[in-house]
Amino acid sequence: MKKTYLIVILLFTLLSLYSQEEHKEEKNLKVAGIPIISYDRTVEFTGGAILTGYYKMNQKDTVSPSSSTSIVGVYTSNNSYFAAAIQQFYLKQDTWRIKTIAGLGNANLQVYIDMVNPGRFIDYQTFINLVLLDVKRKVFEDFYFGLSGALVYAETTFDIGIPGMKTYVDKQTMNNMGFSLLYDTRDNVNYPGNGFQGSVNNQFYQEWMGNDSSFTKIEVTWDHYLNLKEDQQVLLLRYFSKMSFGDVPFQGQNVVRGDDIRGYSKGKYRGNHMYTLQSEYRYKFKDNKFGFVAFAGVAAAVPDFSGLFNTTYLPGAGVGIRYRLIEKEKINIGIDVGIGKDDWSLTFRVGDAFSR
């Protein structure tokens, strides 16, 4: 049933790709249909598609960014899959920002165990389904206050590889509620050229919510965008951290991979706390269609904050290419290649890193 659900979404998305040219001047709706073809050292080759529609909820509202509806479906050569529907509303002169996500997936990944000598990777499989709602309201000038809630179930099966103990199953209900504070002066949510974005997100996972463990997760973000030359050259300076406190389960830990920080795909480095610093230089050619990015940074995954003073720091750097798919919305597509410590990553993306 799960794979049938995924296939239906994939077929719908792929068929809808034929309408991607509608974004040119099609009334209020602009559609971007993008196939996904990428490679990851853990999940191997990935194929799928993203279909996103951008539109104004109120044509007279010239302040709010365009709202969007996205459907994404991917399948990998190591039998991982993920499907999701994502809705983002910007309403009432950008007074309200509402996001909903519903998705399910099955990821065949690996975790590095250093308690044996030599250390080695152990394969694991995590099935997850989730429903999330996040609502933010502007309370003063560029400040927003938000409330969020999510229903999450994760089931992880470890392939221990020890005779008589080949697998271990960890089932976790991870429902959560939380609040957020956001300060946003960016001039565009898809491709900022100037401004700041700072946020603090608190998520509470408690046993009275039906969870097996009680812990708290805090995310802190600070992005500073500098327009170096008439929107053709932009420099991003970024700090990002995830910190989990309490009885943190395996699924609640934070892994060094993805956009923070690019260059890592094998999932070797993980901990209750993760801290990253990163910069990205964005260049757009004069034809306004093609461009490139260069990025570099450093990350650390540690048990707690004090571990920052006694750990191995993880550098990452790389380059990417961009193509402007929808000029009015400043939507880019592209590919990033990152190099890390004994690792590398290849990322296909719709939209620039840290956008929306």
Q: Which helix (H) or strand (E) holds 9?
A: helix 2-16
Mean pLDDT of the chain, nearest integer: 86
Residue type, 338: G
> What is the reported pLDDT for 224?
97
Cα 333 to Cα 293: distance, rounded to the nearest angstrom: 12
Kindly give the confidence (pLDDT) of every residue in the chain, 356 residues in length, as a single tens digit, with 9 standing for 90 and above. 444 344 434 434 443 443 343 444 445 788 877 777 777 778 888 889 888 889 998 989 999 999 999 999 999 999 999 999 999 999 999 999 999 999 999 999 888 877 666 777 888 899 999 999 999 999 999 999 999 999 999 999 988 766 666 677 888 899 999 999 999 999 999 899 999 999 999 999 999 999 988 999 999 999 999 999 877 899 999 999 999 999 999 889 999 988 888 998 888 899 999 999 999 999 998 777 899 999 999 999 999 998 888 898 999 999 999 998 888 888 888 889 999 998 888 888 878 988 87
Tokens of 182: 């956001």
> What is the reported pLDDT for 1?
41
> What is the reported pLDDT for 117?
64
pTM for the full predicted model: 0.84
Are 212 and 220 in contact by the 8 Å Cβ rule? The answer is no
> What is the reported pLDDT for 163?
61
> What is the reported pLDDT for 132?
96
> What is the reported pLDDT for 165?
60
> What is the reported pLDDT for 37?
77
Q: Which helix (H) or strand (E) holds 73?
A: strand 67-76
> What is the reported pLDDT for 24?
42
Each residue's pLDDT tens digit, 271-316: 999 999 999 999 998 777 899 999 999 999 999 998 888 898 999 9
Domains of the chain plus CATH, in order, are 2-350 (2.40.160.50)
**Burial (Cβ within 10 Å: 0-12, 13-18, ≥19) of residue 275:** buried
Cα 56 to Cα 220: distance, rounded to the nearest angstrom: 30
> What is the reported pLDDT for 139?
96
